[in-house]
Amino acid sequence: MRASDILVLSLRQLRERRLRSILTLLAVAVGVTSIIALSAQVEGVKDQITQSLQKLGPDTVIVMGQGRTQLFTDADVSRLRSLEGVSAVTPVLMTSVKVTGIDDPVNLVAVSSVELVNFLGEVRLLDGDIYYDVPAPQALIGRDVAIDETGETRYKAGQPILVQMGSRPTMMTVAGVLDQYGASMMIQADKSVFTSIEYAKTLLRTGGYTIIIVKAQSAESVDQVAELVRYIFGGSATIMSVKQITEIVVTITSQINLLLLAIAGTSFIAAGLGTFNIMMISVLERVREIGVLKALGMKDRGVLILYMSQGLLLGLFGSLAGLGLGSIAAYAIPILLAGGFGAGQASQPSVGGFGASAGANIMGSYTPVIGSIYLVVATGLSVAVTLLSSAYPAWKASKMSPVDALRYE
């Protein structure tokens, strides 16, 4: 029998039991949808984090205190600058503050304007200019601080902005507004107020720093510099290079993807049982038809191929439906997450820029990435499951003879 004849017969048999076929297709589609939608979230978060880290450069080492109250001193900064292989050291002081007109906490980031590029990776201005490194109440604000969710402007360059730390309000002048940076593992630049180190020390009445960013002379020497920094601080500080953080992120997301694939793969069990059920019923309902085909000369192999092709079609059509539904779900999930995290950020202020709100910002603003490898895996699994589930019914149908048709009368 020609391949076109087998295809026509297979499609006709599926159409004759349309509702049953549709339910089986949906069972297959659920597994494909789960794999695509879930893997797209993990890949999207991974890309968002790695891109933000790459802006800092592969030659960057981040030094953070282990406690909320631990601060680095000017002596620590001087020691780091004297290390071999170090090209630049950027001390940073961060805390959470309230800004008039904004419900959620905002990061106050004190860093030298000259070294701001080491902290942000690049400086992109939407309005105004960078503040001066003098003890004056000047501020460079993020886009989300300057512009609200509706697109209305809250603050412009040259206007005053009221910043409140605990019960102490402070009036500052907006020197400039940063362009949109998006989510970052380092700092939420869009929801931050930047000012000079000199002014922040006076304002906060402290001489310490919460974070120190160390730049190695080259990407090749960053591991050596990280070891030297670790030797200086021992266990009193957390020292991580951008290279190490990126490797950890990639490793963790790969493990999460494997776990999600395993969880989503269990839904194919229902698809396999549904396919087996519909194929067995199809064989029993068409005993006479099989007998007629055998009497007309169709070989066992032809009957086997006929019923295996039905399983193949169920897998292909189910995977196509799953690809469409999975793509829709992949881009719908971040919208739901953004709403959920946005509602809870006000009660989760960040500590030093690395608190819960930083994670919420990443989870709520990433772009899903549908990887081609997961499309292939999902399609392959759906086809494999339906073919495997069709194997026994197809074999049973191929072993029937014209005499068997009389037994089922």
Whole-angstrom distance, CA of residue 33 vs CA of residue 11: 24
Residue bearing tokens 């507004």: 177
For the chain, what's the residue count? 409
Q: Which helix (H) or strand (E) holds 107?
A: strand 106-110
Q: Give the distance, in angstroms, between the CA of residue 175 and the centroid of all CA atoms in the same chain.
A: 34
The residue ranges of every structural domain in the chain are: 3-53+250-407, 71-235
Q: Which helix (H) or strand (E) holds 138?
A: strand 138-141
Instruction: List, as one string, the DSSP characters of 348-407.
Output: ---STT-SHHHHHHHHHH------HHHHHHHHHHHHHHHHHHHHHHHHHHHT--HHHHHH
Which long-range contacts does 369-372 make (Cβ < 8 Å, 24+ apart)? Answer: 369/40, 369/43, 369/44, 369/46, 369/47, 370/36, 370/39, 370/40, 370/43, 370/326, 370/327, 370/330, 371/39, 371/40, 371/43
Checking phi first, is residue 324 left (phi over 0); if not, alpha (psi -120 to 50) or beta?
Answer: alpha
The tens place of each residue's pLDDT in the chain, 409 residues long, gives: 666 766 777 777 777 777 877 888 888 888 899 889 888 888 888 887 787 777 777 888 888 877 655 688 889 999 999 998 888 898 998 888 898 888 888 889 999 988 888 788 788 898 899 998 888 899 999 998 998 888 888 899 999 999 887 677 889 999 999 988 876 656 788 889 999 988 888 888 877 888 898 988 888 888 888 889 888 888 788 888 888 888 888 888 888 888 888 887 787 887 888 788 878 887 777 777 777 777 777 787 877 888 888 888 888 998 999 999 999 998 888 878 766 544 444 433 343 444 444 444 555 567 888 888 889 988 888 888 888 888 888 888 777 766 655 555 4
